[in-house]
Amino acid sequence: MKILANDGIATSGVIALENAGFEVELTTVAQEQLIDYINQHEVSVLLVRSATKVRKDIIDACPSLKIIGRGGVGMDNIDVEYARKKGLHVINTPAASSHSVAELVFAHLYGMVRFLHNSNRNMPLDGDSKFKDLKKAYAKGVELKGKTLGILGFGRIGQATAKVALGAGMKVIAFDPFLDSANLELDFFDGQTVNFSIDTISKDDVLKQADFITLHVPAQDDYVISTQEFEIMKDGACIVNAARGGVIDEVALVTALDSGKISKAALDVFENEPSPEVQILMNPNISLTPHIGAATSEAQHRIGSELADQIIEILK
């Protein structure tokens, strides 16, 4: 059987699949050519990440397909229910990238509170001539330790982010409409573990109490954070979105930043990917990354291995 990993797959996954007798194709086929390629090569498994879209046209036109796999958590680029109604297996790897996303959130948080996102832009330009001015401009940093992190969405990634926050000495509060509490186990290098139990609270209470807010929610029709939510937040709060583009109202975000209601924001995802708005990209109070939450070597190896295990279990 042939497997097309159209958006790539880690070597660990390729090796596991080939050892199980599958033929793995790593060709990147353009979206408009995908149906012809799948049919011509009789592809049984189509693996994607976020770039390739698997809609009804592909599902209907490709009778050889048995499995559609998404390397990651969200499956908004796949018509999941329709595929399952047609008898296809749809799989993903919901746990593999959780810690990678959590670390990116904290890369942004640490960078923002010490002005690294601006310093790394301005030091190459003016570091030799305006060193003292830049030192003064970036001398009012704050520490994360002792501050309150509010987490909206307390599933796997939200809980992984909470663990990093607890390790950094932060207080964690969380909101999740489907979860009343969560037990978190922090593992340390020497084998010790520490357990925390966190009860979720209302969304408004998280917004009112948190110094820093991070979103870990699925794509949805309405904004999770817009003008009303910004008004509830603490003056000078910071917000991070490494979940899905469109859960924060970016127009309202810019307004909140311009007014000083929100001091800083970090975005790994955008309403208009892959062409974010210029007013977002050029705002000096926004820390930016190009949707790389799961883009670590470790996460990609876990994703590849998990996809391979599921495919082998289904087809063997």
**Catalytic residue positions?**
244, 273, 291
Taking residue 157's Cβ as centre, other Cβ atoms within 10 Å add up to 28
| b (16+ CB within 10 A) / e for 97-136 | bbbbbbbbbbbbbebbbbbbbbbeebeeeeeeeeeeebee
The four Cα atoms 97, 102, 106, 107 give a dihedral, to 10 degrees, of 0
Distances (CA, A) of 89 to 57, 85, 161, 235: 17, 10, 30, 47
Backbone Cα Rg of the chain = 22
Q: Give 22's DSSP letter.
A: -
Cα–Cα distance measured from residue 16 to residue 47, given in angstroms and rounded to the nearest whole number: 15
Q: Give 155's DSSP letter.
A: S
Cα–Cα distance measured from residue 33 to residue 139, given in angstroms and rounded to the nearest whole number: 54
On whether the CB atoms of residues 203 and 65 are closer than 8 A, the answer is no
Cα–Cα distance measured from residue 147 to residue 303, given in angstroms and rounded to the nearest whole number: 33
| b (16+ CB within 10 A) / e for 204-229 | eebbebbbbbbbbbeeeeebbbbeeb
Instruction: Pick left, alpha or beta for residue 210 (phi over 0 → left; psi -120 to 50 → alpha; otherwise beta).
Output: beta
On whether the CB atoms of residues 107 and 87 are closer than 8 A, the answer is no
Distances (CA, A) of 208 to 142, 233, 261: 20, 5, 13
Distances (CA, A) of 138 to 118, 132, 278, 280: 9, 10, 25, 21
